[in-house]
Structures are given as C-alpha cells and as structure tokens.
Structure 1
C-alpha cells in the first residue's frame, strides 16, 4: 500500500506544481495589471510638440528628448539652500539629451546646454533658453531643427523630482574620477573613488561645472554617468521584486516626470529598458561634437558644434545605424 501511495503521490506532483505555477502567474499578472493602471493614472502630460512646415520626417527607430528643468518655483528657501540651486527665477533646461533606440541598439546623445543654435522666431541663442522663450514645444522644435531628427517622445524632470527618484532607489553608486570633485556653487565635495550617493549628493555631483576644467562639457559627462547609474539600479531585482521598493520608486518617478500627451506607461517602460541597456554596455553614449567655445557679445560663453561631425552623428541616428567613430565627440 505504501508503494501504491508513493506512486499516486508521484503522479500528482506534476499537477500540483502546474497549479502552483498557475497561481503564481495569476498573482503576478494581477499585480502587474494593477500597477499598470495605477501608474497610468499618475502620468502627467504636457503639450510638447507643434506642427510646422519644415518639421523633419519620421526616421528609423525611436527618439526621445530628455530634459532636466532647472525650475525653482516648487522649492522652499530651505530646499534651495540644501540643493545649492540659488534663487534664479528663470526657467531654462539644465540637461538636454536625445535617447535613440532601434535595431542598432540604444544611443544617448547629450546636447550641451550652451549650444549656440537657431531658435525659431528668436534668432540664434543658447539652446537651453528655448524652453524659457516657448516652453517644451519651442525646445522640441529647436532640437528638431538643429539635429534634423523628428522627436517621438518628450520627458522632463525637475530638481526636486530628480532627488526623490534617487532617494527612492536607496541611492546610486557613482565612481568619481581621480582628483575628486569640489565645487562651491553646486555644493559638490567628493573624493575620488566609487561611492554611494543619495539624491542631494547626486544633484550636487552632476551640477558642478565652475571648478571643472571642461566646464559644461564635464558636467555633461557626469550627467551621462548618473543616468546610467539610475537606469542600472532601477532594473535591479532589489528594486523590481519587492513591492515595498518598487512602488515608492514608481511613485517618485511618476511624480518627477512630465511627458508628452501621447506617451503612456508602456512607452516609459520601454524607454527604461533601453536606458538600462546603456548602463550594461550594449549601447553608445556620446556628446554632440564641439568645434569651439567662443564668447558672443550679449550672449556670453557658448558652444559651437563641429557641424560636419554633428551631421554624421544625426544621420546615423536618423538611419538607425551605429554611430561612426568619426562622429563621436
């Protein structure tokens, strides 16, 4: 009888395992569906695009315009002091990046905020001033006209939102180059070496430029470094699996982000996956090639692109082909 019972038990275990797996799938599906609809209800949108006669045609792959706003309007005096962002009431963009992905893999291209380009209806000026002059639609149009790329999606994050996202991740690991980084204006005070940074420290790290011999271009490299660190941490099992870690991160991210009206949770999730690919080394990270950094009367110090190399870079993105070495900065 014992053998018969054992045989019966052995016959039943595949069925029990199948039922257990089915139950697990149903729980995960319900959890994921609930999160999807919850996240969808939290997405904040804005008018980010405008139609105009000379707008570039659709290229291959997908292009995002990623923007870091330096708005201080939502910050208290205490927060402005802690974040070392001052009291400037202007509204420019501290960070401008184009994320491209398609068959050729993800590419993240930083556009220096002082890039001297044509701003539709306003002559030439620093590209970051387009946001102050006409908000997201004018900035998007300016980037499209300067690069020849048609932007598919727009995402914007502000100072405080950025800090909250990094804190919700439990901080990120950043490797500070030899010599360390100290900048009185941004509050950066870091020794060389890999270290964990919370949101405030990360913001101070990426905003430093006055003590950096490379100025704004040095800050661009740190921005790229931080974006990769955030993406890598965001898709780690320690964040994705436990709901007590995942939900606070999603909540902070959704509170921090403003996207175009056609961007939903699915597109944001796809973008996050592609960003993680950059941190794992499967894509390319670069900056628009620079030819010179002259001072323009009435404008100040600006960045002028190496137009030949820049054209090669943007052509590769339009055609969804790998960025050629001759186009890298």
Structure 2
C-alpha cells in the first residue's frame, strides 16, 4: 500500500513504481476536468415605461457593444462586436389604441359662432311657434259626418265680412259700414295640396247656387250665416266631393292689419276702379296697397263681371300677400316679422284640430307654385234668394275629379 502522498506515482502492469532515468518515481497523470461552458451575458431590455426625448433628424445610434462568446469548452473566448441598437418610440399604453381626447364643447372660430347663432334661431323659432299656436282662435269647423277621404290635403280658406271687433275709427278708415253680426263670407277658396306636384287654389263664387244641408238650395255663403264654419264645410264637401282637412278664416280687420304689418303689398290692377261702397279709388298699373286699399280691392264688385272678377282679384292678392310675408325683407326684419305674427294669430281662426305648423306647411307648399282655378259657371239666374250662379256640371265635375 502506498504511503501517504505516494498514491499519485505511476506504476507498471506489475504494480512496480516507474522511475525516470535519474531513478526518481514518475507521477501519474491526472485526468483533466473540462471547464463548464460559459453563458453569454444578457443585456436587459429597456423598461417599457421609460421616458425618452426624441429630436428631429436621423435616429440616434449607440456605440457598438461587445459580448463574450466562447469558442470551445476550456478555451478562452473572444469579444465580437454587436450591431448598433436604434432607439425606438415608447410602446403604446396598455389596452392598445389611441387615447381619446375629451370632447371640447367650447366653440372655435367662425364655425362655432355660426353654430351658436343657428341654435339660438332654432330655439327662438320653437318658442315663437308654440306661443303663436296658443294664441290662435279655434272654432268648430268639422261636420259630424264627413265624406270619405280624398287625395292630398284640402284647406277651406274663408274671408269673413264680419265687422266684429272693429272700432268706429277702423270702420271709418276701412269703409266697412256698421256691425252686421256674424256676417257672411266675401271669400271662399279651396286650396288643394297634392302629395306630389303643384298646388291648386280654387275659388268658389259666393253666389254659387248649391244645396245647404238642412236648409235647401241657396247661395253658398248663406251656409256660413246660418250654421257657421261647420255648416259651410259640410256644404262645400257635398257640393265638390272633396274632403276638407283644415279650415282657416280671417276677418276684415285682420286682413287689413296683416297688410300694414308687412309694410304694404304691391298689386298691378289692369284697369282703374272707383267704388265708394268699398272705399276704393285706384288707377291702373303697379302700386303699393296699404291695408285699407287692399281690403277694398278684394271686396269690390264694381267691374264688368262682378263676382267673377272679384274672385280673380282675391287670388292675386292672396298670392302677393303670401310672397311679401315670406320674403327675407319681412322674415329678417323684427319690426315687421313680430307684428305680422301677432296680427295673424290674433285675427286668424282655425279648426279645432289645426295648429300653426299646419299653416306653415300650407305656406311652404304654396311657395312652390300655385295653379289657380274658378269653378266654371254655366249661367246666372234669378231665384227667390236673388241672382245666383249656376255651375257648369261637366266642367266643374272635371275640375273636382282632378283633385280627388
């Protein structure tokens, strides 16, 4: 057994120590232990929320980094240059997508000012419409039994010759004479608004000889005297076969005030007219009518065809008044617009189910163009109720059929 410290002497196959040429024992070679492989150092990535400042120009490059890379186990490695790292923008916040900006209600520039003006105009329009609707006079104009529905929408437009509400000064200025109570209708027109196409404004001569339900044959305007708007509506429905959907009525004082509130209406009569009963004295040609002159113009019968000429003048005046009332000079002028609205709602009477927005739709429809008609008259005849107009059955039926 080898002595301590001699266990590392080389021996031959017989177990004898091996010596060198000088007689010294030779040490046995120890097996080499391989060095464990070295792992390269990892550079930690930059933190996600790291704040970096970027400047304009090319991207900033960092100097090359060196990393220890071993060649083989037990050998010394060498340093190998690494590619440069280019700075990149910070990662988006968790949740992805762009961060939404809070909506700013503060108006900017001219567009914001225009938006505020439009909102103010809209609010004012709604307030004025609701106020005007509450001021309208409403009457019962719907018969208990109406005929079946017909095409489009039909308005019965009535101009009453009632003097109620006029002062002595107004009566003298307008030349209307004294109060005659309920009165009759100087103007009866049926406005037909089709679903598509041009509107039709049809005049019904007030001396038309028709059947008044419950009263027999008489002039059409007598229906208003004995039964008011409801009986007049029923009479027109049965005579024309057209269902009346809306009703609007204006008196003498209301019409004159409407004209004055819009600053007058331009009319172009083809001939001079002098009529002391209507307080009218005008020359031919275009001229400005005030309220009193306009009222006399639509009332007078002092021309060759009497009532037939009058219904034509009434349609002309109605169109001119509508054009003036809806012109920018009136709508954009508060000194004309508000008096016009005030006079209109205080003097107009409408059916129980009618509102100011129905009137607005009627006006807008008429601005798109109007076809005017008068019920064809075959002849005039004297009866116990006076001189009456007899309709042309064929011509009038053809006219009504176009609107049904």
Bin the TM-score by the shorter chain.
Answer: 0.7 to 0.9
- Judge conservation of contact 2:274–2:282 (CA < 8 Å) in 1: yes
Q: Determine the structure 1 residue equivalent to 2:281.
A: 189
Matched, 1:250 2:336: no
Cα shift at 1:33: 1.5
2:241 equivalent to 1:154: no
Written as runs of structure 1 = structure 2, the 5 A alignment for 1:157-168 is 157-168=250-261
Q: Which residue of 1 aligns with 2:230?
A: 137
Query: Corresponding residue for 1:83?
Result: 174
Match of 2:298 among 180, 185, 206: 206
> Do the aligned partners of 2:258 and 2:291 also contact (CA within 8 Å) in 1?
yes
Partner of 1:105: 198
Deviations 1:94-131 (A, max 9, x none): 10000111212211000000000000000000000001
Which structure has more RCO (C-alpha within 8 Å, separation ≥ 6)? Answer: 1
Which stretches in structure 1 are left out of the alignment for 5+ residues?
1-13, 319-329
Deviation at 1:304, TM superposition (A): 0.8
For residues 159 and 32 of structure 1, what CA distance do their matches in structure 2 show? 28
Q: Deviations over 1:268-324 (max 9, x none)?
A: 1111222333xxxx220111111111111x211111111111111111111xxxxxx
RMSD: 1.4
Deviations 1:222-272 (A, max 9, x none): 101100110000110011112222111111111110000111111011112
Rounded to whole Å, the distance in 2 between the matches of 1:123 and 1:219 is: 26
Give the alignment of 1:43-54 within 5 angstroms. 43-52=136-145
Q: For residues 302 and 88 of structure 1, what CA distance do their matches in structure 2 show?
A: 25
- How far apart are the structure 1 equivalents of 2:185 and 2:268? 25
Correspondence for 2:148:
57
CA distance in 2, matches of 1:82, 1:244: 23
Pairwise CA distance, 1:207 = 0.9
- TM-score relative to the length of structure 1: 0.87
Shift of 1:174: 0.3
Once residues 187 and 235 of structure 2 are traced to their aligned partners in structure 1, the CA distance between those partners, rounded to angstroms, is 15
Cα gap change, 1:308/1:17 in structure 2, threshold over 3 Å: closer, same or farther?
same
Match of 2:266 in 1: 173
Counterpart of 1:291 (choices 374, 378, 384) is: 378
Pick the structure with more helix per residue: 1
Q: Kindly tell me the number of residue pairs found equivalent between the two proteins.
A: 296
Runs of 4+ in 1 over 6 A off after TM superposition: none
Shift of 1:78: 3.4
Distance 1:82 1:243, change over 3 A: closer
The correspondence of residues 217-296 of structure 1 with structure 2, limited to 5 A, is 217-277=308-368, 282-296=369-383
Residue 17 (structure 1) aligned to one of 110, 135, 155: 110
Higher mean alpha-carbon deviation, 167-176 vs 27-36, is at 27-36
Where 1:303 maps in the other structure, the secondary structure is strand
Cα offset, 1:88, TM superposition = 6.0
- Residue equivalent to 1:324: none
The 2-side partners of 1:81 and 1:307 are apart by 42
Q: CA deviation at 1:35?
A: 1.1
| Matches of 1:46 and 1:89, distance apart in 2 | 20
**What secondary structure is seen at the aligned counterpart in 2 of 1:185?**
helix
CA distance in 1, matches of 2:250, 2:166: 14
1:315 counterpart = 2:401: yes
Q: In structure 2, how many angstroms separate the alpha carbons of the residues matched to 1:84 and 1:222?
A: 19
